[in-house]
Amino acid sequence: MPFTVDGVVPWGRTMEEYCGMFDLGERDLRGRILGCGDGPASFNAEMTAQGYSVVSVDPLYAFGAEVIEKRVEETYDVILEQLARNRDDFVWTCVPSLPALGQRRMWAMRTFLADFARGIREGRYLDASLPDLPFEDNSFDLALSSHFLFLYSKEFDLDFHVRALEEMLRVAPEARAFPLLQVGGAPSPHVEGVIDTFTAQDIQARIEEVPYEFQRGGRRMLRLRRLIAAQTDG
């Protein structure tokens, strides 16, 4: 089925939020980062402005800025209304109120839109998606998945999650995914299977708490690392 913008609910997050969601330190930020499913986040634009290296992939980027902006305008009030109805499902500490959240999200999306055309020209925004990425092995130091893997566990099965994370580990030695909850707040049923699968492949797989929580109970990320065998003299 072809990807259409009508099925997209754009909701942009900031660099500050990415740093919290993925517990990104300065060493992480200095590396080559791939964002999978970044959508209209301002992470790429903000990172680039500060001299860091980020490439974002999302099928949303097949559409022009005008189309994406129109979709933002169509869905913005609907999303805020849904959040208002379910406000008890969220933690209002990182973001103090619903109006503040709306302002932050719109700022992130406007920042993304202002950067989009330049980012397309520079190859920072690419129309691509998991589990097939258009990069050579080890093109990046760190691959991130924000609010895609595990969040849509009903739509994507365990096999898809494994293939997607394997692809992230093909292009980078480390992959992180956040959050580990489904839409609605229930824990994803795929987390245990993913950990078992990669542990059996001698991939370091662990769940870590991060300094960010908005979706109630969503304060954990999955970190996967390829283990490099120790070199010994023959």
What's the average model confidence in pLDDT over 142-167?
97
Percent of the chain with pLDDT over 90: 91
| Length of the chain measured in residues | 234
The more confident residue out of 107 and 4 is 107
- Tell me which residue has tokens 């992480």: 28
- Asked if 42 and 111 count as a contact pair (C-beta separation under 8 A), the reply is yes
- Residue 227: pLDDT band (50, 70, 90) is confident
Mean pLDDT (the chain, rounded): 93
What's the average model confidence in pLDDT over 8-24?
94
Tell me the H-state helices in the chain: 15-21, 26-29, 43-49, 65-85, 98-121, 158-171, 191-200
In 3-state terms, what secondary structure has residue 133? coil
What's the average model confidence in pLDDT over 99-114?
96
What's the average model confidence in pLDDT over 35-43?
97
In 3-state terms, what secondary structure has residue 113? helix
Residue 234 has pLDDT above 50, yes or no: no
Closest to 76 measured CA to CA, from 143, 9, 125: 9
In 3-state terms, what secondary structure has residue 120? helix
- Is 0.85 surpassed by the pTM of this model? yes
Lowest mean pLDDT among 45-59, 122-136, 190-204, 216-230: 216-230
DSSP letter at 129 equals B
Tell me yes or no: is domain 5-226 CATH 3.40.50.150. yes
Q: Determine how β-strand 220-226 pairs with β-strand 125-126.
A: unpaired
| 131 cis-preceded (ω within 30 degrees of 0) | yes
